[in-house]
């Protein structure tokens, strides 16, 4: 049976997270319901990355199996059924039968957006953070993150992860117009990890801390030492990459 892959984008403030949670409105439930309607049979998907409530995605992937060949207007029909907060961008077919949207992903990239001057148009799109910060501290902590591979301190409790090892490929802060943004890319992320990295770096930069304090949190391997108190609406799952030859593009909306 062919395995198809949908590339989707969504506004996280419209859902209670991405992963199915019974009948609670989530991104995955919306996609499952849409596919079940179009294919006229109960259809479930497997997502590439789980995002928490409020977290947005410019790019996430869901695979599903069906013998029904998609028509030329398949993506149009998908978007006609889906709620306003989510859209399907592309349709692929997997080139290997055991393709898995989650486990075959080579890396993922996130961006966290912050603004300091009150702006009603950014209210649900970024974190309002009108506090003085040491920018040099932010830059230094971002570099330090790349030196480590064990991020147990930045995994929320009750995580199902069997290992806390992640390979960080990119970690840096940048000014983008009126926004200060944190970009991080890795082969995998733990539950709550990006928000933990952002919140802890902001706490270090707000005053009274040294770089050694940040290293101590990383090395403690204890999530009670880190901070997670930043909202989900500032976080964006921006990119997921797969090895070349993993899937073939069929349609673009």
Using DSSP bridges, classify how beta strands 46-47 and 56-65 pair: parallel, antiparallel or unpaired. Answer: antiparallel
End-to-end CA distance of the chain: 24
Q: Residues, the chain, total?
A: 253
Please give the model's pTM, rounded to 2 decimal places.
0.94
Catalytic residues: 52
Percentage above 90 pLDDT, the chain: 93
- Domains detected in the chain: 3-104 (3.30.70.580), 107-238 (3.30.70.660)
* Confidence at residue 156, expressed as pLDDT on a 0 to 100 scale: 83
Burial class (CB in 10 A: 0-12, 13-18, 19+), 151: buried
**Which tens digits make up the pLDDT trace of 130-168?**
999 999 999 999 999 999 999 999 998 766 668 999 999
Tens-digit pLDDT profile for residues 106-130: 999 999 999 999 999 999 899 999 9
Q: What confidence tens digit (pLDDT) does each residue in 177-232 have?
A: 999 999 999 999 999 999 999 999 999 999 889 999 999 999 999 999 999 999 99
Least Cα distance to 227 among 145, 153, 138, 170 occurs for 153
Rounded average pLDDT over 48-59: 95
What is the DSSP code string of 82-133? Answer: S-TTEEEEEEEEESSTT--TTTT--EEEEEEEEESS--GGGTTTSEE--S--
């Amino acid at each position: 049976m062919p395995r198809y892959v949908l590339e989707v984008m969504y506004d996280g403030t419209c859902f209670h997270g991405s992963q199915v949670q019974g009948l609670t409105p989530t991104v995955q439930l919306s996609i499952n319901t849409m596919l079940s309607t179009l294919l006229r049979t109960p259809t479930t998907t497997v997502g590439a990355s789980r995002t928490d409530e409020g977290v947005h995605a410019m790019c996430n992937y869901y695979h599903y199996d069906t013998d029904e060949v998609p028509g030329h207007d398949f993506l149009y029909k998908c978007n006609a059924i889906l709620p306003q907060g989510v859209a399907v961008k592309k349709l692929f077919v997997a080139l290997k039968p055991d393709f898995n949207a989650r486990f075959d992903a080579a890396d993922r990239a996130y961006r966290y957006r912050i603004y300091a001057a009150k702006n009603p148009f950014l209210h649900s799109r970024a974190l309002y953070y009108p506090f003085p910060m040491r920018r040099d501290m932010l830059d230094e902590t971002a570099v330090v993150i790349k030196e480590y591979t064990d991020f147990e301190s930045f995994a929320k409790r009750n995580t199902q992860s069997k290992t806390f090892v992640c390979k960080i490929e990119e970690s840096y802060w940048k000014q983008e117009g009126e926004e200060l943004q944190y970009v991080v890319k890795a082969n995998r992320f733990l539950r709550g990890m990006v928000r933990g990295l952002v919140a802890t770096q902001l706490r270090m930069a707000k005053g009274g801390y040294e770089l050694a304090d940040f290293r101590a949190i990383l090395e403690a391997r204890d999530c009670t030492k880190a901070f997670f108190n930043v909202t989900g609406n500032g976080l964006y799952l921006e990119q997921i990459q797969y090895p070349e030859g993993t899937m073939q593009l069929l349609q673009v909306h």
